[in-house]
A and B are shown apart, each in its own frame.
Chain A
Amino acid sequence: MPETNAVVFIVDDDEPVRKSLARLIRSACLTVETFAYAQQFLDSHRTSNPDCEAPRCLVLDIKLPGLSGLDLQKRMAENNIDIPIIFITGHGDIPTSVRAMKAGAVEFLTKPFRDQELLDAIEQAIERDRVARRQRADMAKLRGRYASLTPREREVMELVVSGLLNKQIAGELGICEGTVKIHRGQVMEKMQAQSLPDLVKMSEKLGGFRATGL
C-alpha cells in the first residue's frame, strides 16, 4: 500500500486522458498534480522545495506540444531533478522505448493500459524515489559529520582507513602516538563509526566529496 503522502505528477496534453489518469491515481489514495505541458511542470518545480518529505514520481506522455516527454527527461537530468519517470504513449515504438529506458525511466506503457499496470509502476517509482531520498539524506548526514572534523582529524582519518598503525601514523605526521590516539577517537565519535570497517565504508562513500576538498 503506497504512502498516502506520496505525490504523483501527471503531464499529458490530452485533457480527458489527464483527468482520467488523475481520477484513477486518486482512487489508489495518492496525491496528484496535473500539468498540460512539460514547461509548466518544469516551471512549477523550480519554485517548489526540491527536498520536501514526500516521495514523488512523474507520469509523462511522450508526445507533447513544445517540449516532448523525452526532452523533458533530458532537461530534468541536466538540472539534477531526480524524479522517477513512467512514460505513457499512444503508440510505442521500440527505439523510443529503448531510449527512454536507457535514460533511466522506470517503465514505458502504451495506451490503453490496464489500471494495475500503471499503479504497479507508480508503486515501483515511488519506492525508487524513497530509496533515493534516504540515500541522499544519509549522504548529507555523512558529509555534515565529515565537515565537523578538523583538518588534522581528517588527515588522521585518511591514514587510519589506509591501514596504518598508530605508530606509523605518528611517524607520518610527525606527532606522538598518544596524540594520534586522541585524534582517532575524535574521528570515530564525530563520524559515528562503530568500527574501523565502518569508517572505511564511510570514507569510500565520501570519496568524491573529499577529492573536491572542502
Chain B
Amino acid sequence: MDDRLISIIDDDESLRLALVGLVRSLGYRASGFASAEDFLNSGDIDASSCLITDIQMPGLSGIELKHLLVERHSPLPVIMITGRADPALRDKALASGAICLLKKPFEAAALLACIERALAA
C-alpha cells in the first residue's frame, strides 16, 4: 500500500472511475476530476505525486494543462492518455514534457510502468 496520491483527469465518467479503480488496485491513493479546470481549482496539485490526464477534453486540453503546470514551475509528472492515433498529437504531447503517452485502450501493465517511471523521476 503506497500513500502517494495519483490524480486522474478524464471527462468520460466510466473511464475516469475505471482509472481510479485501477490505480487503487495498484496500491496507490487515487482521486478523479472531470476537467483540467476542476483539478486546478482543487488545490491538489502540490499533494499529487503524479497526474494521469486525457488529452481531448472540452475546455482545457491535457497538453494545455501541462503547459500551465510548466509555467507554474510545478514538478508534477504527467502521464497523458488519448484515443486518437494522430502522430502530430504524439509529438505535441511529448514535446510538452509528458512522461508517457498511452493510447486507449491500454494494458494495465503499461500504465503501471508509466506510473513507476513517473514516481521515480
Are A and B subunits of one complex? no
Binding site for A on B (CB under 8 A): none
* Chain A interface (Cβ < 8 Å from any Cβ of B): none
